[in-house]
Chains A and B, each alone.
Chain A
Amino acid sequence: MKIPVYLDNNATTPMDPRVLEAMLPYFTEKFGNAASRNHAFGWAAEEGVDYAREQVAQLIGANEKEIIFTSGATEADNLGIKGVFEMYQDKGNHIITAVTEHKAVLDTCKHLEKQGAKVTYLPVKEDGLIDLKELEAAMTPQTILVCIMYGNNEIGVIQPVKEISAIAHKHGALFMTDATQTVGKIPVNVDADGIDLMAFTGHKMYGPKGVGALYVRRKNPRVKVTAQMDGGGHERGMRSGTLNVAGIVGFGKAAEICRLEMDAEAKRLAALRNKLQSSLLELEESYVNGNTEHRLPHVANISFKYVEGEGLMMAMKDLAVSSGSACTSASLEPSYVLKSLGLSDDLAHSSIRFGLGRFTTEEEVDYAIQVTKKAVNHLRDLSPLWEMFKEGIDLDKVEWVEH
């Protein structure tokens, strides 16, 4: 077992060795530009890209013509949202999204608000799911896009995408989803799920960083996006720029492996995650954040009351995880996702996100349980809040001397 143990697969994943092997020829042997139509170097590169495009499309039940390669999910989110806004501005200017979206979506929406877009940021319930009645009520004749993420990166909750899509389509709007954490982990099918646009990336599914895709529907309805990258008209005019051939080949291989191994993997990871979760919940005053029924199989976000997240991570230095604590973000604000669930500040500061992955072993999970319990207990011995709680003091009634 290698130390430190990596349990932060929501942040990124190690590349599968099979993916690396597939990519290698494209660096020094088949190094051609996929757009070089006139010689064998270009044709070899193009062949690699075409095959990868097929693999990616197959993973999500799409046609390969509907895959636009980008530099990642952030760019795909930008292209989808800005591209739809610009293309359909004669139809309307209203976009609906949710407060728990990734910054790639939220910041893009904020940017568009300065250009005349009206954006509704739907709140979420305590379990992290959006309220479908609130979505219905927010729809207007000017709504052109509903953008709600498939699976949340911090707490793992899976939104009711089929129902959201139905509401969007009923009112004549397109449905886009940021599925970065979901594609390759659970079955996603753009037809069954009613998806018109979808962003996802290679490095969350054991592929390379620096390559992702935007799925853009071609039939029922035919969707178009205004390119955000101009210069040559690559990717059907929707995203110019020489293709990252090796990256795309890796992305394709990663997608193929996921398609074939996803079901077994999800079962294995859910069992490990449940073991981790139930063992940690044996600690007093520990809470799981987010809906546990509609949740990605490999994620557990747990708050340990009366200890602070960054301090906790320091005690768990041989375990790589992430925290919703403010200290670990650049600002002093705790995670906005956890705050949207209605979590009090002290619980938001006290959370740890565990993200299991393909290479996580049971031995590593057992180690994580042991390390986490030891760390929580150590910090509770140091915590005045824990002592006060044990004495029966109601911390909500204390007058804190802030500064």
Chain B
Amino acid sequence: MAYSDKVIDHYTNPRNVGTLDKSKNNVGTGLVGAPECGDVMRLQIEVDSNNVITDAKFKTFGCGSAIASSSLATEWLKGKSIDDAIAIDNMDIVEELALPPVKIHCSVLAEDAIKAAINDYRVKNGLAPIESEKNHH
């Protein structure tokens, strides 16, 4: 399997690996995937009073493409408002990393992780979670 240079780069030098304090009210945590599928992503965001994401961290159990997708996601999230963040689409990730068709599901999981982290933050702060229109199987 030939990986794109960007995937290899994110994999060898992952950005923003780590853990935020999930007990804090302004931290949202998304944990998606399952060990049986071979893909588990945990994505966390720290949001300031202006609804801007000031920090993002990830940890991923999965293949090179999964790790790269979630690492890229944290890079994109930092500095974005929540509204902009929720608009991140998995195909943006596919394009940026040049993921082959068999690895597209890794980008979908990353998108799910972003939305899960945002929703966790929303629920913690008394807002309703945003329903996704997309239907994954």
Contact = CB atoms under 8 A, between A and B. Distances in A.
Contact of A403 (B14, B66, B109): B109
A147 to B, nearest CB: 31
A400 B17 contact: no
Interface residues of B, number: 33
A325 interface: yes
B116 A382 contact: no
* Interface of B (DSSP majority class): mixed
A242 interface: no
A314 interface: yes
B60 A383 contact: yes
B108 interface: yes
B63 A384 contact: no
A304 to B, nearest CB: 11
B67 interface: yes
Given A401-B116, A403-B137, A311 B62 contact: yes
A310 B62 CA distance: 8
B4 interface: no
B36 A311 contact: no
Interface in B7-61: 8, 11, 14, 17, 19, 31-42, 59-61
B121 to A, nearest CB: 16
Contact of B60 (A326, A384, A395): A384
Which of B32, B33, B62, B136 has the most chain A CB atoms closer than 10 A to its own CB? B62
Interface in B65-114: 66-67, 108-109, 112
B37 A332 contact: yes
Interface string A374-403: 000000011111110000000100001111
A352 to B, nearest CB: 14
A392 to B, nearest CB: 15
Which of B33, B34, B35, B59 has the most chain A CB atoms closer than 10 A to its own CB? B35
B62 A308 contact: yes
Contacts of A306: 61
B64 A400 contact: no
* Interface of A (DSSP majority class): helix
Interface in A303-318: 306-311, 314-315
B59 A308 contact: no
Interface residues of A, number: 30
B63 A314 contact: yes
Contact of A400 (B1, B11, B35, B60): B35
A387 B17 CA distance: 12
A47 interface: no
Contact of A385 (B61, B116, B136, B137): B61
A386 B39 CA distance: 13
B112 A403 contact: yes
A349 interface: yes
A281 interface: no
Contact of A384 (B3, B14, B31): B31
A8 to B, nearest CB: 15
B31 A346 contact: no
A358 B35 CA distance: 37
Contacts of B137: 403
A132 B54 CA distance: 63
A151 interface: no
Contacts of B116: 401
B55 to A, nearest CB: 17
Nearest to A345: B36
Contacts of A207: none
22 contacts: A310-B1, A310-B63, A311-B64, A311-B67, A314-B63, A327-B38, A327-B63, A332-B38, A334-B38, A344-B35, A346-B35, A382-B14, A382-B17, A382-B60, A382-B67, A384-B61, A386-B61, A395-B35, A401-B116, A402-B34, A403-B112, A403-B137
Given A382-B60, A383-B59, 19 more contacts: A306-B61, A308-B38, A308-B62, A310-B1, A311-B11, A314-B3, A314-B63, A315-B11, A325-B38, A332-B37, A332-B38, A344-B36, A345-B37, A345-B38, A383-B60, A383-B61, A400-B34, A400-B35, A401-B34
